[in-house]
Structure 1
Amino acid sequence: MNLNLVDQLTLLALDDEKGNFITDSFSFEYGLAGAIILELSLQERIIVEGKKLKVRSEVNCGDALLDHFLDKISSSKKERSIQTWVETIGEKYSSIKEGTVEKLIKEGILRREEKKILWIFSVDKFPAENTKPENMLRKRLNDILLNDCEVDMNEIMLISLIDMCELNNEVYGKERAKEFRKKIKGIIEKGQLSSSIGKAVKEIHDALMAVMVILMASAVFTTTTTS
């Protein structure tokens, strides 16, 4: 099964056994928005010109979530910046997360379980039903960092998103995450400097990473000043 960046990031952000999300909501909110934009660029649907995000092709991706946001960008009355689109898409965090989880449930990768809190409140959990796709993904990511394997565009984008969402400890393990810190930084920098990465994807990736830093710093500042 072919999992896109949004699917992969969601899987990695879930605890396999407990079925709950383990990442900070601010970073994951922007991370999912970033994953959607990067995936659309990888599939050659959008490009960036100047500071504006533009539609390159309106042909459907064959994925309901991606097609929804491609249509949103395409039907916008004016061209908007990457930062505006990250914020706009990020506002739909809950529906993006739920839609991706539902897709993974239909694919037989996750299952939905209702848990009671204090025997009164019900919350949904999403433990793994089929661990093979995620295990293969984790193995590949660890192999890249352990054995200095060559990485493709998708893998560089995913490693960047994992780092941005502070999921390194979860994906690589706490000790390895410390050990891999320089390698992770090197892979992200390699992606920024690489000539082999598609120009449109590279431009969006670099602009996106810069925007994420600004947005998350702003979110942390707002939280600190209001608490």
Structure 2
Amino acid sequence: MSRDDGLVQRRNVSRELGEGVSKDPGDYDEKKATEREEDFQDCDSKETRLTLMEEVFLLGLQDKEGYTSFWNDCISSGLRGCIITELGIRGRIELEKAGMRRRSLLNRKVLLTNDTPTGDVLLDEALKLMKETDPPETVGNWIEYLSGETWNPLKLRYQLKNVRERLAKNLVEKGILTTEKQNFVLFDMTTHPLMDSVTKARLVKKVQDAVLTKWINDPHRMDKRLLSLICLAHASDVLENAFVRLNDDDYEVATRRVRELFELDFEAESMKPNTNEIMWAVFVFFIK
């Protein structure tokens, strides 16, 4: 995409999304990233806790209209990738050992390590399906099964249905969205416009800062959830929504740094110490 095309696209998206958030510089405060559930529970209690699915969905939501773009055919599989990643970060699943021949991430099976419910209905539904599946499946297979993108009729029972609607209802319960009915001439549609603009503004600023003022040129020093958010938002084709109101120079820097992330050798990155192989396997799936 040329610079001019990028500017036109940002202006168009900007009109769709309504008022946004400006970027304020800040000092970087590095926090230790962990894979355990208790660290997720220890998030700042002053902020509404959101799952990766909810954050990606919120980035893709058109604020006033209350729904995601009809033309976005990536967000469905992207949200399933969020589910797999979240379960990996929370320590519920892991990849089987690579073995002496060092099999690739997408050729290794997903193993259940902890079947304790997470408290999130969608995550727990996926966790239950994995627990009941024998033999285990790969990360790529699970994303496709949960999305319903399989030719095997025996695997259709794994599909998670109405994911976006269920995420919207979760966000309504958290006071971030509201519920309305809109008439589209031929049919009525339930929509969920943004009600709490502060939470979304905070989310957008977090993404902007991650690739600008708080950029760390080493993915292993980034918080795993934040790195996952950036990569999965990009895979879901909603990351651009966080950049639409950046000035031209910052936009160029932000998009270049995202490209740098996706130019990494994810297989090699997954072999480094203190990393999360599930997370990297999901990234590999979306760039294969």
TM-score by length of 2: 0.67
Structure 1 segment 1-227 matched on structure 2, within 5 A: 1-22=48-69, 24-49=71-96, 50=98, 51-91=108-148, 92=159, 94-118=161-185, 120-150=186-216, 151-173=222-244, 175=248, 176-187=250-261, 192=266, 193=269, 198-199=274-275, 201=276, 203-214=277-288
Secondary structure of the 1:80 match is coil
Secondary structure of the 1:147 match is coil
Question: Structure 2 CA distance, aligned partners of 1:114 and 1:101?
Answer: 14
Q: Please tell me whether the aligned partners of residues 270 and 280 of structure 2 are also in contact (alpha carbons under 8 angstroms).
A: no
Q: Per residue, is there more helix in 1 or in 2?
A: 1
* Number of residue-to-residue matches in the alignment: 211
C-alpha deviation, 1:146, in angstroms: 2.0
Give structure 1 regions of 4+ aligned residues with deviation exceeding 6 angstroms.
194-197
Q: Please tell me whether the aligned partners of residues 23 and 166 of structure 1 are also in contact (alpha carbons under 8 angstroms).
A: no
Q: Please tell me whether the aligned partners of residues 94 and 110 of structure 2 are also in contact (alpha carbons under 8 angstroms).
A: yes
TM-score by length of 1: 0.83
- Flag structure 2 segments of 5+ consecutive residues without an equivalent: 1-47, 99-107, 149-158, 217-221
Q: Please tell me whether the aligned partners of residues 33 and 90 of structure 1 are also in contact (alpha carbons under 8 angstroms).
A: yes
Q: Please tell me whether the aligned partners of residues 20 and 125 of structure 1 are also in contact (alpha carbons under 8 angstroms).
A: yes
Could you list the per-position Cα deviations for residues 113-154 of structure 1 after superposition, in whole angstroms to 9, with x for gaps in the alignment? 111112x41012211111111110111111122213453110
- Flag structure 1 segments of 5+ consecutive residues without an equivalent: 215-227
Moved more, 84-93 or 189-198: 189-198
Give the fraction of aligned pairs with identical amino acids, expressed as a percent. Answer: 22
Question: Structure 1 CA distance, aligned partners of 2:114 and 2:287?
Answer: 28
Q: Which amino acid aligns with 1:171?
A: A
Q: Which amino acid aligns with 1:172?
A: F
Could you list the per-position Cα deviations for residues 34-61 of structure 1 after superposition, in whole angstroms to 9, with x for gaps in the alignment? 0000000010000011410111101111
C-alpha deviation, 1:159, in angstroms: 0.3
Query: Measured at CA, do residues 161 and 127 of structure 1 come closer, stay the same or move farther in structure 2, by a change above 3 Å?
Result: same
Q: CA RMSD in A?
A: 2.3
Q: Which amino acid aligns with 1:107?
A: K
Task: Compare CA radii of gyration and give the structure with the larger one.
Answer: 2
Query: Measured at CA, do residues 39 and 139 of structure 1 come closer, stay the same or move farther in structure 2, by a change above 3 Å?
Result: same
C-alpha deviation, 1:167, in angstroms: 1.8
Secondary structure of the 1:66 match is helix
C-alpha deviation, 1:212, in angstroms: 2.4
C-alpha deviation, 1:98, in angstroms: 1.5
Secondary structure of the 1:115 match is strand
C-alpha deviation, 1:169, in angstroms: 2.1
